[in-house]
Amino acid sequence: MTASSSATGIRPIIWADDHLKLIDQRVLPNEERWVDCRSAAEVADAIHGMAVRGAPAIGIAAAYGLVLDALAGRDYEAADRVLMESRPTAVNLRWALLRMRELKSQGADAKALLAEAIRIHEEDLAQNLAMGEAGAALLPPNAVVITHCNTGALATGGHGTALGVIRSAWARGRLSQVYNGETRPWLQGARLTAWELLYEKIPARLIADGAAAHLMQREKIDWVIVGADRIAVNGDTANKIGTYALAVAARHHGVKFMVVAPSGTFDLNCPNGAAIPIEERPPNELTEFRGSRIAPEAMQAWNPVFDVTPASLIDAIVCERGVIEQPTEQKIRALLG
Ligand code: MRU
């Protein structure tokens, strides 16, 4: 089995009859290693430890995590709790667990829960393909775009959100160049997005995160295209740290800013960005690199891993249900009910 065995390219999450296989995103692209999970707790560890990451992907993995404990006859509420607490910002995790909880409350057995987890997985791929088309249609011919973090097949059920738009645009001959930010400190851009872009043979250049504003000043960039971990009802959007800086720079340079996310990423109970919980990870993710110190021993660090882009800086949110231009609460409620 390989990470590249499906028609859409890369499959990071595989249900293997009685357990879950996750490609270990911590060691890609140097190594293709798989993590085998046999309980909800092991899936929660894989989510918290970043073996699986990306908002839709952790929702899908969590749904399978519940199935593992249901098959083994373990306590459902305990499984739900450990998965719910595994990461705080991406609302797709909560969305998938609530969807499974709803079915469970109607008396679903392990087999029915598995069927639902597979549905969540397959629906995500279909949604990404729809968003890919809708987002690509917004780009001018020969578009030059910047993207951030990894929002591709690795982060989703396949194809990707922002990277899905890039894939679809490339397939339709609408794209001439992608710049992808390295995405400190986990390097999702340098390791994972670069790997996916090379796999698709899409013309791409890696940039340091701090080079983006300079690039917009020097070269004609058409769109910044990013994913999302949670979209508040007013359109404020949490995504990987550095996204907000990209949005500010984009507005200053007249570059358009697109957010691509399925309906499970919207949190209609969250009034605005200030109410979105922002995950802070351990300081050593900044002070060390692959086990070696890069900052002096006594150095303190602050490591928020997401930030919030205000709706006013977003030109379009692309969802599988449609495109919202200049997002407002009214438009979001009209599309998502
Ligand atoms: O910390 P990560 O790697 O899980 O963060 C991922 C992102 O911020 C992505 O941009 C987001 O989840 C959208 S992925 C389709």
Sequence ranges of the domains in the chain: 13-128, 129-336
Cα 165 to Cα 318: distance, rounded to the nearest angstrom: 9
Q: Please report the atom of ligand 1 found closest to the CA of residue 58.
A: 4
d(CA 114, CA 68): 9
CA distances from 242 to 93, 212, 282 (A): 22, 10, 18
In whole angstroms, what is the distance from residue 305 CA to residue 244 CA? 12
Atom of ligand 1 nearest to the CA of 90: 12
Distance 104 CA to ligand 1 centre (A): 28
ipTM: 0.99
Ligand 1: residue of 26, 159, 188, 195 to mutate (most ligand atoms within 8 A of CB) is 188
Q: Is 87 annotated as a binding residue?
A: yes
Distance 305 CA to ligand 1 centre (A): 10
Half-sphere exposure of residue 132, counting CA atoms within 13 Å on the CB side?
24
Are residues 131 and 260 in contact, defined by beta-carbon separation less than 8 angstroms? yes
Contact 107, 68 (CB under 8 A): no
For a pocket test of ligand 1, which of 161, 229, 308 has the largest count of ligand atoms closer than 8 A to its C-beta?
Answer: 229
pLDDT, residue 9, reads 66
Q: In a structure prediction context, what are the per-residue pLDDT tens digits for the chain, which is 337 residues long?
A: 334 433 346 889 999 999 999 999 999 999 999 999 999 999 999 999 999 999 999 999 999 999 999 999 999 999 999 999 999 999 999 999 999 999 999 999 999 999 999 999 999 999 999 999 999 999 999 999 999 999 999 999 999 999 999 999 999 999 999 999 999 999 999 999 999 999 999 999 999 999 999 999 999 999 999 999 999 999 999 999 999 999 999 999 999 999 999 999 999 999 999 999 999 999 999 999 999 999 999 999 999 999 999 999 999 999 999 999 999 999 999 999 8
Q: What are the tokens at 29?
A: 């692209």
Q: Is position 269 annotated in a ligand binding site?
A: no
Is the C-beta atom of 80 inside 6 A of ligand 1?
no
- Nearest residue by C-alpha to atom 8 in ligand 1: 240
Pick 129-336's CATH classification: 3.40.50.2300, 3.40.50.10470, 3.40.50.1860, 3.40.50.360: 3.40.50.10470
239 is in an annotated binding site: yes
Give the pLDDT score at 2: 39
In sequence order, what E strands does 132-287 have? Answer: 143-147, 175-181, 204-207, 223-226, 230-232, 237-240, 256-260, 266-267
> What pLDDT does 10 receive?
81
Helix (H, G, I), strand (E, B) or coil at 10: coil
Per-residue DSSP letter, 19: E
What pLDDT shows up at residue 337?
85
53 annotated ligand binder: yes
CATH 3.40.50.10800 fits 13-128, yes or no: no
CA 219 to centroid of ligand 1, rounded, Å: 27
Nearest to 242 by CA among 146, 102, 106: 146
Instruction: Give the tokens for residue 274.
Output: 């200030």
Catalytic residue status for 80 = no
CA distance linking residue 60 with residue 272, whole number of Å: 25
Ligand 1 in reach of 87 Cβ (< 6 A): no
Q: How far apart are CA 321 and CA 334, in angstroms?
A: 11
E-assigned strand segments in the chain: 13-16, 19-23, 34-37, 143-147, 175-181, 204-207, 223-226, 230-232, 237-240, 256-260, 266-267, 288-289, 292-293, 306-309, 316-319, 322-325
